[in-house]
Amino acid sequence: MNDPLTIRRLYGRRQGHKLRQGQAELVERLLPEISVPETGELTASTLFGDAEGQGRPLELEIGFGKGEHMAWQASQRPDHGFIGCEPFLDGVVGALMKVDELGLANVRIHMGDAIEVLERLPDASLDRAWLLHPDPWPKARHAKRRFMNAGPIGLIARKMKPGGEFRFGTDHPVYVRWAMMVMGQSPDFEWLGEHPSDFLVRPDDWPETRYEAKARAKGHEVWYFRYRRR
């Protein structure tokens, strides 16, 4: 049988329009400084130079878009380390602008597939993980492309500490049902809500993402999934 991680691959475009001069300068100066190292294990020590064994808690955002949510979370917990993954250059530039503007020293960026980062993290090393509005791939024949699948979710679970929090957001009805099924079948996560209506209420520490704002403007309902790693 095919391993769901090996049949998954990254779809979509990586570069959009030409960068403006200030943006290109930021990519040249800041990106190498805060990029995730290209090889080796990813720990608080290899990412942030923390003393071995005294690393800061790590948090991961998968597909951060233009980075607003990640930057907000990183500004709330300067003593935590944030790893953001986004293959799309325009998105990475957006995140670099935020990191620069807010003077964030606790963010590292991987311009590529989040699976590559997850595989290099030690098991039980993440305090939090976010998967916010991943591409829904609504057609049934494309379902294996969804990040929300048993393989990637199992990998996220393995990399999270017991008690850590995983959040998922979507506005797509097909993806809502699919995520309920995938998360319901996972033995590793426990839903943190108390009432079904909790799916529809954005927690205060979950700032609206760029994608989410667009979805709301179109009149879509947005769903918030919160789980605790068992």
Site map (CB under 6 A) of ligand SAM, residues 5-24, x = contact = -----x-x------------
Residue entry with tokens 């939090």: 128
Rounded CA-CA distance 54/72 in Å is 24
Instruction: Note if 188 is an active site residue.
Output: no
Stretch that binds ligand SAM, among 25-33, 39-47, 50-58, 60-68 (CB under 6 A): 60-68
CA neighbor of 58 nearest in space, from 36, 38, 40: 36
Burial 90-119 (b: 16+ CB within 10 A, else e): bbbbbbbbbbeeeebebbbbbbbbbbebbe
Torsion angle, alpha carbons of 206, 209, 215, 218, to 10: 100
Q: Minimum Å distance from CB 49 to ligand SAM?
A: 25
Residue entry with tokens 């995520």: 179
Using rule CB under 6 A, residue 135 touches ligand SAM: yes
Judged by CB under 6 A, the residue of 91, 104, 128, 156 near ligand SAM is 91
Catalytic residue among 50, 90, 135, 198: 135
Q: Compute the radius of gyration of the chain from its Cα atoms.
A: 17
Judged by CB under 6 A, the residue of 59, 86, 165, 171 near ligand SAM is 86
Using rule CB under 6 A, residue 175 touches ligand SAM: no
Using rule CB under 6 A, residue 215 touches ligand SAM: no
Q: Which residues contact 185 (CB under 8 A, 6 or more apart)?
A: 150
| CB 155, CB 118: distance < 8 Å | yes
Token couple for 27: 């990519």
Using rule CB under 6 A, residue 36 touches ligand SAM: no
Using rule CB under 6 A, residue 88 touches ligand SAM: yes
Using rule CB under 6 A, residue 132 touches ligand SAM: yes
Judged by CB under 6 A, the residue of 42, 209, 224, 226 near ligand SAM is 209
Residue number of the CB closest to ligand SAM reads 63
Rank residues 15 and 190 by Cβ distance to ligand SAM and give the closer one: 15
Interface contacts to ligand SAM, rule CB under 6 A: 10, 12, 62-65, 85-88, 91, 113-114, 132-135, 147, 209-212
Question: Which residues have a catalytic role annotated?
Answer: 135
